[in-house]
Amino acid sequence: MGSPSTATRISERHRRAAAATGRYDRRLAEILDHATEVFCEKGYEGASMRDLSRASGMSLAGLYYYFESKERLLFLIQKHTFSTIVQRLKARLEDVADPEQKVRIFILNHLEYFLANRQAMKVLTHEAEVLKNGFATELAAIKREYYRICVKLLDELKEKRGLEFPTRIAVLSLFGMMNWIYTWHNPRVDGDPEPLAREMGDIFLRGVMSGKARR
């Protein structure tokens, strides 16, 4: 038999590279999950790389292979969280035309993720100002995108319904309603994300839509 063709060898290299990347990504996700638990329990300042090493079951040297510092760990947790929320939101909004429905989708998307990832949400909320320099800049860009999406949705609602209300105050008030839900939500009392989002949406939309109509 002849030797494998060049195309076959390239295909095999790609397969192996993809498999290695998949293993790396899975391991990375596991480490981030453990780091989230540690930061949630001890706080960023109280957690050490040794704590993170023990929680992940990795040697300290192995942990430093993936991350040069716990600051990078916190950055990746926050980046993954916000990026996931934004990507899911964009996918859900794609074929929706009604501005009120878009706002309701925004609320549901936010609450679903927050309630499914309570520890990550606590870390994001309590450690929001820790990151500096390049980490803070990159994360701020994702947060700004998320904020601007919400601004756009409420501006569309104002235009469609002929309403007048301060968009900035409305957006920040909505985030204030949603962001602390992990501190009080009780599934047995408050229900699942979908009915909760519907009720929260009713309260918020009744407020902004009760304002005076634009002349």
Condensed to tens digits (0 to 9), the pLDDT of residues 121-151 reads 888 777 777 888 788 899 889 999 999 999 9
pLDDT at 2: 53
Please check whether residue 34 is in contact with residue 52, taking contact to mean a CB–CB distance below 8 angstroms: yes
Tokens of 150: 């919400």
Distance of alpha carbon 144 from alpha carbon 180, whole angstroms = 19
Whole-number mean pLDDT of the chain? 86
Domain residue ranges of the chain, discontinuous segments joined by +: 1-68, 70-215
24 falls in which pLDDT band (50, 70, 90)? low
pLDDT at 118: 84
Please check whether residue 41 is in contact with residue 123, taking contact to mean a CB–CB distance below 8 angstroms: no
State which fold the 70-215 domain adopts.
Answer: Tetracycline Repressor; domain 2 (1.10.357)
State which fold the 1-68 domain adopts.
Answer: Arc Repressor Mutant, subunit A (1.10.10)
pLDDT at 86: 95
Tokens of 175: 């985030």
Distance of alpha carbon 56 from alpha carbon 54, whole angstroms = 6
Return the DSSP state at 101. Answer: H
pTM metric for this prediction: 0.80
Helix axes 70-93, 49-56, angle to 10 degrees: 60
pLDDT in tens, 72-96: 888 988 898 889 999 999 999 999 9
Mean pLDDT of 156-179: 94
4 falls in which pLDDT band (50, 70, 90)? low
**Weakest-pLDDT range from 20-29, 53-62, 164-173, 193-202:** 20-29
pLDDT at 20: 44
